[in-house]
A and B are shown apart, each in its own frame.
Chain A
């Protein structure tokens, strides 16, 4: 499958199709970033757009005001986003569950309002375009869509690799423990606040990278898109639909939702599209929640499956049967 993904642009040259693929990779990547915090550690953030926007604005500001290459800007954006997650986390983690989610919504909204007001600093509500430099690889602008495709794929691969490594390491166990029962985790020595803080850093950093890619691909940024609630929703949505707390969940979710959304956009066009899209997203979400709350990859989260698979197979065949045939609904 990986080979197919790599080889695709050589075969498919249709710009629309490539665009859809890029969108799929983009949102899969954002979903993967969200999933580390929201899927494994079960800290359900609905404000990840904050980091998306911070990443996007950081690299754009560096590019336009200082001529810095977006490659550097991307890393800088990620760092800015990660740093922002520290005070945001410090405050929001004091709340649990739904109230944490609300607080995160609030932070993204606040940032949007701030950037809407800062006309001198960051172009305010009108936003800005980035200068079209033609084919300029050093400045992250490419003539061929295929290059963007590979860039998006590369980012996704990085996200997946990080998730894979985390899942197999001690951090994976600790994250799931935090997600399951914070008090019980503390009783066995898990420094819960630090774990939450650290994974938030990583999640925010990756989301910031996604923001930069977005600006470089779309050539435009404004507060309403950068800190858009839709971005926050989609980050969570692709993970939930595809399989929360799993490695491939966000990819699966994105592969299902993004093409549908793109087709909807081209079919309905313009204003009506936004409403219908969100309405359909919400119906999808409701259906998934009622039918398979842990997403399409099943109730047996892959985090758990790896943890089991990474052990030597148990001596008894019964043990293996229990693992493979584990009930799908908890």
Chain B
């Protein structure tokens, strides 16, 4: 299986704080991988490093063989990596449709064609009925769906989801898991940062555990669940949320 993403020795300091240190992992094409760890472990920072929002002090991130370090986020997106944000960031003045069209325009600047593709993404996440609503008026969950639709509209090969399940109830988690599974079936490579155990167990083929910016464990779900290091890392900070 070819590698969609290869991260080697990624490191980042903020002042005196070591946010990420010597992080290395690989994600195979078509895999769904979870990045987990207690709060402050460096998960979102890793996303930011990979997608060009921060420049790492050291290390590299190769996506489909191309180096991402040094690229700006919009170029990273053009290479096929899309990401969502922990707190949804819709373009408030725009409608749901307009938001997703903005994403779709990456691949094809013709507005008509972009609207078609945007509509498909909107339908996929289940927001069709609210297509004409102002995005800033949406509920938090709908804004999250919008975020995913917008990311999908850029036609990524690799999708990075940052805590997409946070705060969802059981039914919503199941729906979200179903959505992610569908994306995986379509061949999308997916990396999720998650706290919600149920989602992680349901989706992840491979799990990477971070603590204090470093990788402390890696393996399939069963291995991780019984790994004493992982348990210790979580117990120290109050554990994780059961989905």
A residues sitting closer than 8 Å to B (CB atoms) are 168-170, 173-174, 176-177, 179-181, 183-192, 245, 300-301, 303-304, 307-308, 310-311, 314, 316, 318-320, 322-323, 326-327, 330
Contact status of A311 and B97, CB under 8 A, knowing A187-B82, A188-B106, A190-B102: yes
20 extra interface residue pairs, beta carbon distance < 8 Å, beyond A304-B93, A308-B97, A311-B97: A170-B110, A170-B111, A180-B93, A184-B89, A185-B91, A186-B52, A187-B73, A188-B150, A189-B77, A189-B154, A190-B74, A190-B106, A307-B94, A307-B95, A307-B97, A307-B101, A308-B132, A311-B115, A322-B132, A330-B93
CB closest residue in chain B, given A318: B129
The CA of A304 and the CA of B134, in the complex, are separated in Å by 9
Q: A177-B91, A188-B77, A311-B97 are in contact. Are A319 and B83 (CB under 8 A)?
A: no
Q: Is the CB of B32 closer than 8 A to any CB of chain A?
A: no
In the complex, A183→B75 CA distance in Å? 13
A180 touches B98 (CB 8 A): no
Contact A189 B136 (CB under 8 A): no
Contact B89 A304 (CB under 8 A): no
Query: Is B183 among interface residues, defined by CB-CB distance under 8 A?
Result: no
Residue of A173, A245, A304, A318 with highest tally of chain B CB at under 10 A: A173
**B97 contact set on A, CB distance < 8 A:** 307-308, 311
Is A192 within 8 A of B93, CB to CB? Answer: no
With contact pairs A304-B134, A323-B132 given, residues A183 and B89 touching in the complex (Cβ less than 8 Å): yes
Chain A contacts of B40 at CB under 8 A?
none
Is B91 in contact with A176, judged by CB distance below 8 angstroms? yes
How far is it, in angstroms, between the C-alpha of A308 and the C-alpha of B131 when the chains are bound? Answer: 9
Question: How far is B150's CA from A179's CA once the two chains are assembled, in angstroms?
Answer: 17
B103→A188 contact, CB < 8 A: yes
Residues on B with C-beta less than 8 A from A190 are 74, 102, 106
Residues of A within 8 A of B82 (CB): 187-188
- Name the CB-closest residue of A to B73: A186
Taking a contact as CB atoms under 8 Å apart, the answer to whether B134 and A188 are in contact is no
Residues of A within 8 A of B102 (CB): 173-174, 176-177, 185, 188, 190
| CB-nearest residue of chain B to A173 | B102
Bound complex: CA of A41 vs CA of B82, how far in Å? 23
Docked pose: A188 CA to B92 CA in angstroms: 15
Complex Cα distance A323/B136, Å? 13
Query: B235 in the interface, Cβ–Cβ < 8 Å?
Result: no
In contact, B103 and A176 (Cβ under 8 angstroms): no
Specify which chain B residues have a CB less than 8 angstroms from the CB of A319 in the assembled complex.
Answer: 129-132
Given A169-B111, A174-B105, A319-B129, the answer on whether A183 and B53 have CB atoms closer than 8 Å is yes
Interface membership of B49, Cβ < 8 A: no
A314 touches B111 (CB 8 A): no
What is the CB-to-nearest-CB distance from B138 to chain A, in angstroms, rounded to a whole number? 11
Majority DSSP secondary structure for residues of A touching B: helix
Q: How many A-B contacts are there with CB distance less than 8 Å?
A: 124
What would be 30 A-B contacts, judged by CB atoms less than 8 Å apart?
A: A170-B105, A170-B110, A173-B98, A174-B105, A176-B91, A177-B94, A181-B92, A183-B89, A184-B91, A185-B91, A186-B52, A186-B73, A186-B77, A187-B51, A187-B82, A187-B151, A189-B74, A189-B103, A189-B154, A190-B106, A191-B74, A304-B95, A304-B98, A307-B98, A308-B95, A308-B97, A316-B129, A319-B129, A323-B132, A327-B134
Of chain A, the residue at the smallest CB distance from B101 is A173
Q: Chain A residue with minimal CB distance to B109?
A: A170
In Å, the complex CA distance between A177 and B134 comes to 14
B88 to chain A, nearest CB (A): 9
**B119 CB, min distance to chain A CBs, angstroms:** 9
Report Cα–Cα, A318/B90, bound state, in Å: 22
With both beta carbons as reference points, the residue of chain B lying nearest to A300 in the complex is identified as B134
Task: Name the residue on B nearest A324 (C-beta).
Answer: B132
Does the CB pair B83–A187 fall under 8 Å? Answer: yes
Indicate if B153 sits at the interface (CB-CB under 8 A): yes
Q: Are B93 and A176 in contact (CB under 8 A)?
A: yes
- The distance in angstroms between the C-alpha atoms of A71 and B110, with both chains bound, is 35
Cβ contact within 8 Å between A326 and B94: no
- B72 contacts chain A at the CB level, 8 A cutoff: yes
* Residue pair A326, B134 in contact (C-beta under 8 Å): yes
Check: B114 CB closer than 8 A to any chain A CB.
yes
B93 contacts A303, C-beta separation under 8 Å:
yes
The answer to whether B132 touches A187, judged by C-beta atoms less than 8 angstroms apart, is: no
Flag B133-159 by CB within 8 Å of A: 1 or 0 each: 110110000000000001101100000
